[in-house]
Structure 1
Amino acid sequence: MELLAPAGSFEALQAAVQNGCDAVYLGGTMFGARAFAHNFDDTQMETAVKYAHVYGVRVYVTVNTLLYEKEMEEVIAYVKRLQDMDVDALIIQDVGLFTLLHERFPDMELHASTQMHIHNPQGIAMLQKMGAARVVVPRETTIEEIREYAKLGVDLEVFVQGALCVSYSGQCLMSSLTLARSGNRGECAQSCRMQYTLEEDHHGLHKEITTKGQYLLSPKDLNTLEQVPTLIEAGIASFKIEGRMKRPEYVALMCALYRKAIDAYTRKETFHVDAAMKQEMEKVFHRGFTSGHLFHQVGSALMNPLRPNHMGVRAGIIEQISKDKMTVKLVDDLHQGDGVRILKAKGDEGFRVNRMYQNGLLVNHAKKNERIQLDKTGYVEKGSILLKTSDCQQLEALRASYEQRSRTIPIQASFSMQLQKKAKLIVKDEQQHQVEVFSDMPCEKAMKTPLSKERILAQLQKTKDTPFAISCCDMSDVTSDGILPIKELNRMRRKALEQLQKLREVRNGVRRFAEEKAKVIALPSMREVMIVVHTKEQYEVCREEGFSSIYIADVSLYQTLRQANETVYLREERVKKDAYTQPHTLIQETAGLSFAQAHAGDTSLNITNSYSAAFAFANGVDILTLSVEHTPDTIQELTTAFQKRYHRTGNFAVQLYGHVELMLSEYCPIQACLKDDGKKQCGLCRKATRYNLKDLKGHRYPILSDVHCRIHLLSEDAYDHIAEWKAYQKLGITSALIVFTIEDAHKTRRVLRKVKEQVHVD
């Protein structure tokens, strides 16, 4: 079992290592999904890798964004530098980059990021065949699914602690398409942490629904510390703590706690998460805790609609207010330097406690149940709650846990010393590294007091300024009447440990770097206008308007039409748990590329470069719809590079019309706000009422639910690029995708007639 910790800075890396992690994941200055973390430049990366390796800790670097064509040469050079720095593995989102790196860096370990959207056995088996050493499963994966996936033989990495995304990772376009900050490019603006109102939509008449809070898309933080035994027994290879944007003290605490829980299980001991431990976790950071989709949490057990930020712990209640002071009855200890927040109806107020008073005198701390006075800095009401959002003593103790180098590496030593011979010190570690160091001078016969074994051992064990601790030392070959200068013992010890440290800094040695191989793709030219419909009404209009390449998004409607001998095709689910069986399908998720009979790929495959396109075509896809995050320039770069590299044009499509799916979520705000009974399948979305989420700017996002109670949050307006078809053709686009979701018959007909007028693919 591996304990994997986040490192958003070198200090966080130290915190993780010194508190017991087995591996860290971090980002460089490019191509990482946390563009706003304190990422590592090349010099810092090299230092970080050496530091971690000395302690036997592996380093994984995130290269987990989608790549555009013009970046491919740069990312290869970047990975070459990472390999030369001895980075242990890379975490990859882009399937094209994954295949390219496996070819050009055959000895580099590759992990499939959760951003790759692998959520079924077919996907895991496909990644295994592609050379993946590990798959990071989505946060939506259940414990039962993990048990089944673990049987496939690929290491599973599972999030066990930290922030949750409300949308499936790699499938969220909310930030990109509403705020021009792409989550798939590491720039997520966290739209899920913003305020929304749930509305009923009665044919354009909107009725607001009263809810407990307005942060309707903001999840609690995952916390599975109490379930560690269950997770271990499920077959998880790596326990992943989220938090590259978190402070080092957070990393230190979470690593220390999960280390204790894992080690207790290994020793067959009981690990109990008591109230004090929970409070320590709450003080350092939380939005409320949940065991998440792993353990089937829904509604209020999963979400925190009241506030999207750190909640801290309750510190007291404001009992009295004067002109410049407020009296607080404490429910927890408070110290000068602690961070606090006053909960207010119109905007909370946070500050650091610089001065606190008791009986008119300044004090530096007060205990639970005591009353204190704090300076009033703004308007506050009697009865307001005071939260403690940072505990200065806790943070100081956590900093000490990694600044004082609490982790040591046990090593074995052997010291021999015989008269008229040079003394020899041998040190060995658990990785089978061995260093031999000889004294500069031979051992002489002692004239008075010989050098005792006890004194030799005492000098050799002075290792506090190093990562090492000598666990045992063989001195069976030490003469009883010899002498050697103490400074020579010290020199031998320092030299031996320095050399051992240098050996430990390199874990992987020389790894290969290969040239790219020329490839030929056999691909028949195809041109289509593909229509996706969700309702029978939409389908009938499509037939009336003469369209034949129709993909049905609703499985029950598809089966009904097939039974009626209608020529229709299936648009596969965006999260598909069962096997692919229907030929000529439109696939929406990565595992669909393992199905040789898939005809077309949808936008959610996140195709952004010629390498990912080539992989899809090589795996049986005939027509490939490019990501909606493309610009005309990036489309041109992709199609041009594809033709140059593979000596043929590709069958590329773009979505010309449709409400774009901004989020795909297992969480349903309709159920959470109107039922919240801990169960799915409430059926509210299947009635005549339609629901929207409205943001603070008044934008409304329709909610489309599916048979599995997943929600598809749609763009406010349908994207209509039909009039731009000729411009797309000049960029190398040959097919078009039209998607109908919430359109009625009238709107569907208007769009299709516009398509017939302007889109020609012959």
Structure 2
Amino acid sequence: MSEIMDSEEGRAPMELLAPAGSYEAFKAAVENGADAVYLGGRSFNARASAANFDLDELRRVVHYAHERETMVYVTVNILIADQEFPELYDYIYSLYEIGVDALILQDIGVAEMVRSVLPEMERHASTQMTINTTWGVRHVERLGFQRVVFAREVTAEEMKAISAKTALDIEVFVHGALCICYSGQCLMSSYIGGRSGNRGRCAQPCRLTYQLMNKEKKDVLAEANLGNHLLSPRDLNFVEEIDNLKECGAYSLKVEGRMKRPEYVATVIRIYRRALDHVLSQEEDINGGSGVTEEEKTELLQIFNRDFSQAYFHSHPGAELMSYARPNNRGIRLGRIVRNKGNQLEIKLEAYLRPGDGIEVWTSRGREGITVQKVWQGKREIEEGKPGDIVQIEFAGKSHPGDRVFKTHDELLMEKARQSFQEGREQRRRPLKMRLSGSIGEPLVLEAWDRDKHVRINSATPAQQAMKRALTREYVFQQLGRLGTTPFRLEELNLEVEEGLMLPVSELNEMRRSAIESLLHKSRIKEKVTRKVYNRRREEWQNRLKLERDQLIGSAQECGKVHYRRDSASAAMGLTVAVSDLEGVKAALKAGAKRIAMGGERWRSRKGMSFEDIRAGVRLCKEQGGTSILRLPRILNEEQSAWWYELLLKVKDWEDRPAIMVSNLGELEMAKAIDPDWPFEVDYPVNIFNGAAVAHFLRLGAQGVTLSTELERSQIETLARWPRTEVFVFGDMEMMVSEYCPVGATLGGKKGSKCTVPCVKEPHYLRDRLNYDFPIETDLDCRMHLYNVKRLNLYKELDSLAKMGVARIRLQLDRATPVQIRDTVRVFLEGWGRALEGEGLSEEQAEKVSAYLGERFPEGFTKGHYFRGVVS
């Protein structure tokens, strides 16, 4: 196995990063050539259902990996609640103490804590942070990250532009499962099943079946014969794109698969290792290819595939991104049925078939899988059927001539994979050079070289005159070459000893053991932060956080601003109404609203807000004594960021310019670049889940922070102690935002032609197996936004929220009609005023209001996570 090192930096010029959900998968990754492995502990990681590793197992993993010059990155890539921080503090230090090379983080508050308390620990910004622009990368640079894992939606052109402007390592997903939603923004599993992807418990509802319904609730794809897995994408496969990724500035090539079997990890990493080495060798390829053989391409298909894709790397793939027919492994095409006689199938093979292989027969009634026990050719039992052969197997199911057969499990490939990481057969070894020198009557000297590391060991006793057998080169090579499970193989031995000399074999063995231990110890020596120092830093950080909160509260009280008063007169300034068009602004103001968050997504189904509309909306707010906030979209790519940058430059010069509400880290950085003093607020898609995250944004000057919609009431109460916090209490619950649009991909015309925008003609819904219809909205950038069937409604909880000290509440009405906006604002203004005055609602009044709102929103309501939360 070749390992091409960058001599200037002492590391590979590109990194192959492997997943591990178990110790066997970890060994499979290392032994097949991974430069680094990422894995999760038993807590705080985004694959809670993987086997994962406790601290003792992590020690074993890190020791094994470091002996083989492999890095270990631990995922701490979920949102973490305030009550979990005491456990988190201990866990982070334990990872540091063990020698973990880096942490992969999602939570802004956790990132801020680690930077302050343990800056010696390397940090990688998870793809869950939704970083897809130069601006987003700049913010995580400021947070002290050393690496950023790009969103999977970043194109080759964008990757090249972004990487040229940052010193951070760029990590990209190159193989495995692909999320249909932007990572970190998917709340579908959370909202409909209570299992949050942001907490590592995604139930993968995207892999289930759906129907695409129109306004009349008719299945518009009933005759299309596409398949019903309308949200299930294909798997990534970049094995032939590594050279392009290198040109685009990618450093780390990340394989997805912490839930996969060790054999999968072994196979994929082995093939990517060869492909990467081919690219890095810079040898001219006479075939002009990737260096990947046809056999290896087939092995990648065989080990697991849902069909393959390069996602958005080259262009927008539309329907070509999707695996509509099935959400699980397709395997490879084995052949077609020639005839079915009794309990025996006759198949004409297009691939190899052996006993122990798993196959699926695709019939008109569905798919039936079996494990092949025996293979015959005529009356002769054979060990292997070859492509072109007609063979027979036992099969008790129903099928017909012409039915397709797929091989979903190749036992020979699995055994090949297992052999690569079998205990005692380790193959991840690097070359070792040794020299044994000395004379009779003196201790012998054994020197060993491991690349740039050198050790020198003396024998415990002097060498003696041989009585029978003197040391020979062959004998010494045999003894010193017994390196067992160490990461070395003896490549070169120089024997420079006096003729006729001998040394007991026990001495030679001891010198070898000492040399190896010294080389391995020498490679990992580094100064440690003691637990005492760590605890002192942690206490200082906690005290600083508390002081910041107290100062902010004191400043707000002293300032005496209207929106910090706690009475009915200030209710309007404590209620934010989010709308998406000018008519919505007018309706909200007419109903008495004083804080209008306008803009956000520009829907194809309605007019949206032009530059002139924003100007008019801001003026209307000012005329009626209100506050205007310009909401930016949930997602912006590089090109869209440039468009918004130019628009904001114009808005900046307005005398009555609005504050800005940002929905991601890149937008915040962009606004700061235009004017560091521009008032801004932070919207809920940024996933603010704890006090440290609130503090981070308030420290940067945020005038308001809308909390995550996945918080439950006790968490909200804790965070309400911070000033300027806002809670989403009513409106549309967006579950998913995706570059893929199921409406355009299936109804928008032929492949390669311009989309006919069927989303404009009528509304569409995704109907699930329980007959719930989830509304789809498409924005002007052709992104899909998928909404929950029911709207959030916490009207009955207003009194509790007021008692908690919540500063502001939010009505999310960007998809509502002017009448719905008007009536909802009126109801909540009155209810919030009563709550702030301490006047509770009677049960009769609450029911009356619920009925009133129910007439305007007949789809129904939910309390979301207010009572159930996502922290178990």
Normalising TM by the smaller chain, what interval? over 0.9
**Are the counterparts in 2 of residues 415 and 475 from structure 1 also a CA contact under 8 Å?**
yes
| More moved, 749-758 vs 329-338 | 749-758
C-alpha offsets along residues 331-358 of structure 1, whole Å, 9 cap, x if unaligned? 2111110111122344422221123344
**2:694 matched to 1:675?**
no
| Residue aligning to 2:171 | 157
Kindly tell me: are residues 554 and 496 of structure 1, through their superposed partners in 2, closer, same or farther at Cα, counting changes over 3 Å?
Answer: closer
1:362 deviates by 4.3
- Once residues 213 and 349 of structure 1 are traced to their aligned partners in structure 2, the CA distance between those partners, rounded to angstroms, is 17
**Are the counterparts in 2 of residues 300 and 676 from structure 1 also a CA contact under 8 Å?**
no
C-alpha offsets along residues 697-746 of structure 1, whole Å, 9 cap, x if unaligned? 11111111112111111111221212321111222312011112332233
Which amino acid counterpart does residue 69 of structure 1 have in structure 2? D
| More moved, 16-25 vs 519-528 | 519-528
Residues 167-186 of structure 1: matches in 2 within 5 Å?
167-186=181-200
**Are the counterparts in 1 of residues 575 and 829 from structure 2 also a CA contact under 8 Å?**
no
Secondary structure of 2:173's match?
strand
**Are the counterparts in 2 of residues 86 and 508 from structure 1 also a CA contact under 8 Å?**
no
1:498 deviates by 3.8
Kindly tell me: are residues 676 and 282 of structure 1, through their superposed partners in 2, closer, same or farther at Cα, counting changes over 3 Å?
Answer: farther
Which amino acid counterpart does residue 634 of structure 2 have in structure 1? R
- Once residues 612 and 251 of structure 1 are traced to their aligned partners in structure 2, the CA distance between those partners, rounded to angstroms, is 35
Return the match for 1:575 from 635, 641, 647.
635
- Once residues 311 and 614 of structure 2 are traced to their aligned partners in structure 1, the CA distance between those partners, rounded to angstroms, is 38
- Once residues 485 and 795 of structure 2 are traced to their aligned partners in structure 1, the CA distance between those partners, rounded to angstroms, is 69
| More moved, 402-411 vs 44-53 | 402-411
1:157 deviates by 0.7
1:31 deviates by 0.5
| Residue aligning to 1:587 | 662
Residues 237-252 of structure 1: matches in 2 within 5 Å?
237-252=251-266
C-alpha offsets along residues 292-340 of structure 1, whole Å, 9 cap, x if unaligned? 1122242222111111100000112223223433222222111110111
**2:273 matched to 1:253?**
no
**Are the counterparts in 1 of residues 337 and 346 from structure 2 also a CA contact under 8 Å?**
yes
1:690 deviates by 1.0
1:677 deviates by 4.3
| Residue aligning to 1:425 | 446
**Are the counterparts in 1 of residues 704 and 724 from structure 2 also a CA contact under 8 Å?**
yes
1:40 deviates by 0.7
Kindly tell me: are residues 279 and 571 of structure 1, through their superposed partners in 2, closer, same or farther at Cα, counting changes over 3 Å?
Answer: same
1:405 deviates by 1.3
Which amino acid counterpart does residue 389 of structure 1 have in structure 2? T
1:605 deviates by 1.3
Which amino acid counterpart does residue 630 of structure 1 have in structure 2? L
Secondary structure of 1:332's match?
coil
**2:719 matched to 1:638?**
yes
Secondary structure of 1:201's match?
coil
1:549 deviates by 1.9
| Residue aligning to 1:96 | 109
- Once residues 500 and 342 of structure 2 are traced to their aligned partners in structure 1, the CA distance between those partners, rounded to angstroms, is 82
| More moved, 692-701 vs 678-687 | 678-687
1:507 deviates by 5.8
Kindly tell me: are residues 391 and 545 of structure 1, through their superposed partners in 2, closer, same or farther at Cα, counting changes over 3 Å?
Answer: same
Which amino acid counterpart does residue 431 of structure 2 have in structure 1? P
C-alpha offsets along residues 141-180 of structure 1, whole Å, 9 cap, x if unaligned? 1111111221211111111111110000010000000011
Residues 531-546 of structure 1: matches in 2 within 5 Å?
531-546=577-592
| Residue aligning to 2:280 | 266
**Are the counterparts in 2 of residues 623 and 651 from structure 1 also a CA contact under 8 Å?**
yes
1:363 deviates by 3.9
Return the match for 2:810 from 737, 741, 757.
737
- Once residues 516 and 291 of structure 2 are traced to their aligned partners in structure 1, the CA distance between those partners, rounded to angstroms, is 39
- Once residues 676 and 447 of structure 1 are traced to their aligned partners in structure 2, the CA distance between those partners, rounded to angstroms, is 91
Return the match for 2:70 from 37, 57, 61.
57
1:232 deviates by 0.7
1:449 deviates by 4.8
**2:122 matched to 1:70?**
no
- Once residues 379 and 134 of structure 2 are traced to their aligned partners in structure 1, the CA distance between those partners, rounded to angstroms, is 67
Kindly tell me: are residues 511 and 351 of structure 1, through their superposed partners in 2, closer, same or farther at Cα, counting changes over 3 Å?
Answer: farther
Q: TM-score, normalised by structure 2?
A: 0.82
Residues 292-311 of structure 1: matches in 2 within 5 Å?
292-311=311-330
Q: TM-score, normalised by structure 1?
A: 0.94
- Once residues 431 and 318 of structure 1 are traced to their aligned partners in structure 2, the CA distance between those partners, rounded to angstroms, is 60
| Residue aligning to 1:646 | none
C-alpha offsets along residues 483-511 of structure 1, whole Å, 9 cap, x if unaligned? 2223432332233224434555x465513
Kindly tell me: are residues 95 and 492 of structure 1, through their superposed partners in 2, closer, same or farther at Cα, counting changes over 3 Å?
Answer: same
- Once residues 69 and 305 of structure 1 are traced to their aligned partners in structure 2, the CA distance between those partners, rounded to angstroms, is 41
| More moved, 742-751 vs 240-249 | 742-751
Secondary structure of 2:755's match?
coil
Which amino acid counterpart does residue 298 of structure 1 have in structure 2? P
**2:499 matched to 1:452?**
no
| Residue aligning to 1:467 | 487
Return the match for 1:407 from 414, 423, 428.
428
- Once residues 449 and 765 of structure 2 are traced to their aligned partners in structure 1, the CA distance between those partners, rounded to angstroms, is 65
Kindly tell me: are residues 399 and 217 of structure 1, through their superposed partners in 2, closer, same or farther at Cα, counting changes over 3 Å?
Answer: same
| Residue aligning to 1:12 | 25
1:417 deviates by 1.8
Kindly tell me: are residues 465 and 85 of structure 1, through their superposed partners in 2, closer, same or farther at Cα, counting changes over 3 Å?
Answer: closer
Which amino acid counterpart does residue 576 of structure 1 have in structure 2? L
**2:301 matched to 1:282?**
yes
- Once residues 401 and 414 of structure 1 are traced to their aligned partners in structure 2, the CA distance between those partners, rounded to angstroms, is 31
1:482 deviates by 1.7
- Once residues 121 and 618 of structure 1 are traced to their aligned partners in structure 2, the CA distance between those partners, rounded to angstroms, is 22
Return the match for 2:821 from 732, 748, 761.
748
1:680 deviates by 9.0
- Once residues 811 and 754 of structure 2 are traced to their aligned partners in structure 1, the CA distance between those partners, rounded to angstroms, is 29
| Residue aligning to 1:344 | 363
| Residue aligning to 1:557 | 609
- Once residues 345 and 814 of structure 2 are traced to their aligned partners in structure 1, the CA distance between those partners, rounded to angstroms, is 55
- Once residues 529 and 492 of structure 2 are traced to their aligned partners in structure 1, the CA distance between those partners, rounded to angstroms, is 35
1:13 deviates by 1.0
1:206 deviates by 4.3
1:66 deviates by 0.4
- Once residues 269 and 714 of structure 2 are traced to their aligned partners in structure 1, the CA distance between those partners, rounded to angstroms, is 44
**Are the counterparts in 2 of residues 53 and 507 from structure 1 also a CA contact under 8 Å?**
no
Which amino acid counterpart does residue 466 of structure 2 have in structure 1? A
Which amino acid counterpart does residue 697 of structure 2 have in structure 1? A
1:366 deviates by 2.0
Return the match for 1:390 from 392, 396, 409.
409
- Once residues 102 and 727 of structure 1 are traced to their aligned partners in structure 2, the CA distance between those partners, rounded to angstroms, is 35
- Once residues 191 and 72 of structure 1 are traced to their aligned partners in structure 2, the CA distance between those partners, rounded to angstroms, is 30
| Residue aligning to 1:493 | 512
**2:696 matched to 1:615?**
yes
Please list every run of 5 or more consecutive structure 1 residues that lacks an aligned counterpart in the other structure: 644-648
- Once residues 683 and 99 of structure 1 are traced to their aligned partners in structure 2, the CA distance between those partners, rounded to angstroms, is 46
Secondary structure of 2:609's match?
helix
**Are the counterparts in 2 of residues 298 and 678 from structure 1 also a CA contact under 8 Å?**
no
Q: Please give the root-mean-square deviation of Cα atoms over the aligned residues, in Å.
A: 2.2
Residues 178-257 of structure 1: matches in 2 within 5 Å?
178-201=192-215, 205-210=217-222, 211=224, 212-257=226-271
| Residue aligning to 1:548 | 594
Secondary structure of 2:214's match?
strand
| Residue aligning to 1:718 | 791
C-alpha offsets along residues 126-146 of structure 1, whole Å, 9 cap, x if unaligned? 211221010111001111111
- Once residues 790 and 313 of structure 2 are traced to their aligned partners in structure 1, the CA distance between those partners, rounded to angstroms, is 34
Which amino acid counterpart does residue 208 of structure 1 have in structure 2? V
Secondary structure of 1:516's match?
helix
